[in-house]
Amino acid sequence: MFIPDIERQTAAAIEVYQDIRLQDTLAYVSQYSSYYQRIFKDHAIDISQIKGTRDLFRLPTTSKEDIQRFHQELICVPEHQIIDYSTTSGTTGSPLVIPMTDRDIDRLAYNEYISLSCAGVTSADKVMLCTTMDKQFMAGIAYFLGIRKIGAGLIRAGVDALSTQWENIFRYQPTVLIAVPSFIIRLLEYAKANQIDFQRSSVQKIICIGEGIRRLDFSDNNISRRIKSQWSVELFSTYAATEMAAAFTECSCQRGGHHHPELVIVECLDADNRPLPPGQVGELTITTLGVEAFPLIRYKTGDLVSLSSPTCACGRNTVRVSPVIGRKQQRIKLKGTTIYPPAIANVLNANVNVKDYLILIENDELGSDAVSVFVEAVNESNTQHELQRAIKGHLRVSPKLELANIAQLRKRYQVHKKRKPVKILDRRSALQQGFFQQESQLAVV
Ligand SMILES: [Zn+2]
């Protein structure tokens, strides 16, 4: 069932539409997923009693651990129908494999088409993709297919040298970049050091992936301010999770990422898996719609967000998802104060002397959380002291802060070969569970 422009229907019409799609999805997993067959049986769930999204709370949630443990049982199609194996970035623990069928890839293309259209990308644009297309990165193919569907021009620049990026920008004249915000900072630093007149470039907007650019009240965070204070470009935030094979991208109003009712159902849950009212921060939980190979019911993403639903000035009536304040698993309790690593990152991102950083979270000898912040500075004099003062001022706590060579540190902790540079490394689980590696994905408060 497809309703054109469902995003602009009334909230009531969207709810009715999602209720029907949810029933279709439950019927599908009951037939093809041995995992959900077993779960529904174990919990004595009669899916005919789940009439719509209001009844979702009756269904158990699905966790990352469930995906790891019961991966094979969750696949709903025979192997010969799978044409792509994407993986998550391994933000918390080992990467998860998400298989897709031909129809799932069409769904992914449609998702990116409406997501980028939401940010105002049109067939008149030329988009330069400054991210990898390979390494089983789902977003890479999503961008390619979405831009193709829009009919815009595409330059698959990838994560090439900074000099090549500027050559490409001046040769192909892209109007839109898709890039990680901290990469844009490096691009600007390079331009300034090499007398490249970036103010005269064709770039008008940047779709910022992988790191947050807003505070919870949607104002610009430090990395966003740093880019905009130097370069006259518009920045758009986008949130994506490989497991949901969908993205929530900001419209021109920039008040949260718009949810797509034809692709996922979103919920925001408290610690006891109860839905929270709009505006309250909880765990983003999604149910995929229309996914053939690997559908998920009430999947807990681990990302802490809030939802809002009033009509947006852009005319869409869909739920909007706030910036991510942090990952649930990365909560740090430091001298009685709860903080999330993105809050520390936000302070570091404000300082022009910070070239790169690594936030290391471990357990001290008493089992309490211990945080060490390692910074590579452009100008070392005073930077350490300045940053210590800034972190204390913003967060009221003082983690240990040292100057260091970050590339060497990433090697030492064996995280130098990851798909994106590891900036937050949580080793607490390493000590407790025999594995480590948690990587920052999104969100700078
Ligand atoms: Zn809007």
CA of 61 to the centre of ligand 1 (A): 29
Q: Nearest to residue 373, comparing CAs of 412, 399, 409?
A: 399
CA of 306 to the centre of ligand 1 (A): 16
Which of 2-6, 237-241, 437-441 shows the lowest per-residue confidence on average (mean pLDDT)?
437-441
Please give the CATH architecture assigned to the domain spanning 327-433. 2-Layer Sandwich (3.30)
Structure tokens at 442: 């999104």
CA of 128 to the centre of ligand 1 (A): 24
Predicted confidence (pLDDT) per residue in 341-388, tens digit: 888 998 998 888 999 999 999 988 778 888 999 999 988 888 899 999
pLDDT above 50 for 202: yes
CA of 443 to the centre of ligand 1 (A): 20
Predicted confidence (pLDDT) per residue in 132-160, tens digit: 999 899 999 999 999 999 999 999 999 88
CA of 113 to the centre of ligand 1 (A): 16
Which of 43-57, 203-217, 328-342, 386-400 shows the lowest per-residue confidence on average (mean pLDDT)?
328-342
CA of 313 to the centre of ligand 1 (A): 6
CB 294 within 8 A of CB 29: no
CA of 248 to the centre of ligand 1 (A): 11
CA of 321 to the centre of ligand 1 (A): 11
Cβ atoms within 10 Å, residue 275:
16
CA of 83 to the centre of ligand 1 (A): 34
CA of 424 to the centre of ligand 1 (A): 31
pTM, full prediction: 0.87
Domain at 1-322, CATH class: alpha beta
CB 304 within 8 A of CB 283: yes
Bridge partners (DSSP) listed for residue 359: 373, 424
pLDDT above 80 for 163: yes
- Which has more confidence, 86 or 2? 86
Predicted confidence (pLDDT) per residue in 81-122, tens digit: 999 999 987 655 678 999 999 999 999 999 999 999 999 999
CA of 169 to the centre of ligand 1 (A): 29
CA of 378 to the centre of ligand 1 (A): 39
Place of tokens 């709009």: 278
CA of 322 to the centre of ligand 1 (A): 12
What average pLDDT score do residues 229-236 get?
97
DSSP symbol at 256: S
**Domain boundaries in the chain?**
1-322, 327-433
- Which has more confidence, 293 or 345? 293
Question: What residues contact residue 323 under an 8 Å CB cut-off, 6+ apart?
Answer: 212, 213, 214, 215, 216, 218, 221, 237, 256, 305, 443, 445
Handedness of CA 252, 254, 256, 257 (dihedral sign): positive
pLDDT above 80 for 443: no
CA of 260 to the centre of ligand 1 (A): 12
CA of 17 to the centre of ligand 1 (A): 20
